[in-house]
């Protein structure tokens, strides 16, 4: 893998399997990655893989990231609004 160790600060990068830990890798790159990390991720995973992680219910992405990546990947606004609404409610109940 060609990602920065800092991106996976909480684990040994040698133990990350690109197939087994696909969701974990994509989430980290979308949330904390730089342009080089993004390019490496896009070379590794399909557009559909990335979209699925963005829209996944238990995604760890914050509302700002979800909004940005939905627009970047051309995901329908109505679908993103539903996801953002659910995420906002989740954040509200954590108070």
pLDDT tens track for 33-67: 999 999 999 999 999 999 999 988 777 888 888 88
Separation of alpha carbons 16 and 27, rounded Å: 13
Separation of alpha carbons 74 and 24, rounded Å: 22
Q: What confidence tens digit (pLDDT) does each residue in 12-31 have?
A: 888 999 999 999 999 999 99
> 63-72 and 77-93 helices cross at what angle (nearest 10)?
170
Separation of alpha carbons 16 and 20, rounded Å: 8
Identify the sign of the CA torsion 78, 47, 19, 3: negative
Cβ distance 66 to 91 under 8 Å?
no
18, two tokens:
């690109």
Domain assignments of the chain as residue spans, ordered by start: 5-93
Separation of alpha carbons 89 and 69, rounded Å: 20
Prediction pTM value: 0.81
Separation of alpha carbons 91 and 44, rounded Å: 31
């Amino acid at each position: 893998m060609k990602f920065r160790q800092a991106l996976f600060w909480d684990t040994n990068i040698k133990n990350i399997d690109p197939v087994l830990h696909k969701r974990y890798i994509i989430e980290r790159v979308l949330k904390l990655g730089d342009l080089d990390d993004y390019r490496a991720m896009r070379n590794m995973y399909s557009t559909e893989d990335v979209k699925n992680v963005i829209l996944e219910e238990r995604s760890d992405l914050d509302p700002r990231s979800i909004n940005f990546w939905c627009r970047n990947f051309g995901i329908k606004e109505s679908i993103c609004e539903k996801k953002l609404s659910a995420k906002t409610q989740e954040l509200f109940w954590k108070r």
